[in-house]
Structure 1
Amino acid sequence: MKSSFYFLIAICFAFVSCNGNAQKKPKSEQFEIQKTDAEWKKELSAEEYYILRQAGTEKPFSSDLNNVKEAGTFVCAACKNPLFKTKHKFDSGTGWPSFDQPIEGGVFYSTDNKLGYSRNEVLCAKCGGHLGHVFNDGPPETTGKRYCMNGDAMNFIPAEK
């Protein structure tokens, strides 16, 4: 009886572990744009490659995009996929461009455990490039979310007048 109980627990643990991990890291095939690592290295700057393809982080307060206030769209630096609108940008004081919501369908979510705890990773929904993370400490009067993005992972396209 005791061994059956432990066997059942082991089966349940294995099922939950396998099922949960399958959803945490996306497979590259999930994304519309498929390129080899060599192709990405050739197309992106060293900073863009480090962030978008190696899930790096730029230094805080280093991005020119922190100061953008004019109307427009922030797009993925790798594939030009629209990600965020200026109207959803706010100064979080963290040193990275921050938004309270993405453009619908622009981002994909994954789980990042690199620091020893789980964080909600934000990826480009079209190419799978790492953009940053989303936290629950954003403006309470809007969504309560803070999309903390790497400026080197994005380009800004001003709105047409």
Structure 2
Amino acid sequence: MSIAGVAALIAAVSFAVLACTGVYLAVRFTRVLGDAATLVRETRTGQEALFARANAAVDRASAQLDRTEAATTAVADLGDSMTELAGQANALAGIGRSVAGAVVGGPIGRAAAVAYGVRHAVGLRRGTVTRQGALPGRVVNSAELPSAGHAGTRARA
């Protein structure tokens, strides 16, 4: 075997080793790509579920925000109504004070005072009203009071 034959043999063996290594790496790379494709599919499925849940959460948050805005508007309207009601109550109280002042201090109030005075004076003359304002009556002794047993039977009958 000549040197050229040995060199060709070494080159052929080297080429065969490199070819086998290339085939082995290609098979391994195909498996890695297959695993990566599977991982991407699973991730895509998980992402779709995640996006669906995120969209649902955003929808719920939006609905809650709408309800919150409606409640805030209702509370603001209630506050405006309460302010208006307070103004009306103050106006009515002012009218009531002015009417009461006009009635008491005016001719109707003076006529009522005169009528009360006359009625009280007549009551004093007749003896139906005492000077201290107590009702007329007499003191009852404890012997005159009915017993508790009799009072209870009368109350039941």
Q: Which bracket does the TM-score occupy, shorter chain normalised? A: under 0.3
> As a proportion of its length, which structure holds more strand?
1
> As a proportion of its length, which structure holds more helix?
2
How does the TM-score come out when normalised to structure 2? 0.22
Which structure exhibits the higher relative contact order, with contacts defined as CA atoms closer than 8 Å and separated by 6 or more residues?
A: 1
Instruction: Select the structure of larger CA radius of gyration.
Output: 2
How does the TM-score come out when normalised to structure 1? 0.22
